[in-house]
Amino acid sequence: MSDSEAERAAALAVELRVLIGQLRRKLREQSNPGDYTWSQKLVLLRLEREGPATVTALARAEGVRPQSMGATVATLEEAGLVSGAPDPADGRQTILSLTPACREMMAAGRAAREDWLFHAIQSNFAPAELPGLEAAVVLLKRLVGS
């Protein structure tokens, strides 16, 4: 890569980082998942993606102490987003899972964000521009390795 190509790539990296940050903020504005901390959101996403888990397993996965994860989980339980049941293999452990209310909240948030994107695409792009947007999505997927 030449020096000028490297400079272009560096400038593009800055512009893309800023743009993605702006898009994330716009998407966050579209749904109101409540005032949860980043670590609480990560726990909810992990339980959704990977299924029920113990506090210890969640702590290990997130790289925090079990005591810290216990406090995070307690807040989520109080909010009615996570519930616990005894581990059938070890009654001293509690298996945590998302509540139906939490799953509904997460689905509604995703639907609101997708609806906003749909309307933003419809109102900001001409039909002839959609192939260009599709091509950009393909490139972004390659960027993140999907």
110 within 8 A of 102, measured Cβ to Cβ: no
- Tens digit of each residue's pLDDT (9 = 90 or more) over 101-144: 999 999 998 999 999 999 999 999 999 999 999 999 999 999 99
Above 90 in pLDDT, residue 36? no
With 0-12 / 13-18 / 19 or more C-beta atoms within 10 angstroms meaning exposed / middle / buried, residue 63 is exposed
Above 70 in pLDDT, residue 34? no
Above 90 in pLDDT, residue 18? yes
Structure tokens at 46: 């992990």
In this prediction, residue 38 has a pLDDT band, given cuts at 50, 70 and 90, of confident
Above 70 in pLDDT, residue 37? yes
Q: What structural domains and CATH numbers belong to the chain?
A: 31-144 (1.10.10.10)
- Tens digit of each residue's pLDDT (9 = 90 or more) over 48-84: 999 999 999 999 999 999 999 999 999 999 999 999 9
Rounded average pLDDT over 31-46: 84
The pLDDT of residue 107: 92
The pLDDT of residue 80: 95
The pLDDT of residue 146: 61
Could you give the count of Cα atoms lying within 13 Å of 17 in the half-sphere of its Cβ? Answer: 6
The pLDDT of residue 47: 97
- The alpha carbon torsion through 93, 97, 39, 117 (nearest 10 deg) reads 170
Coil, helix or strand at residue 53: strand
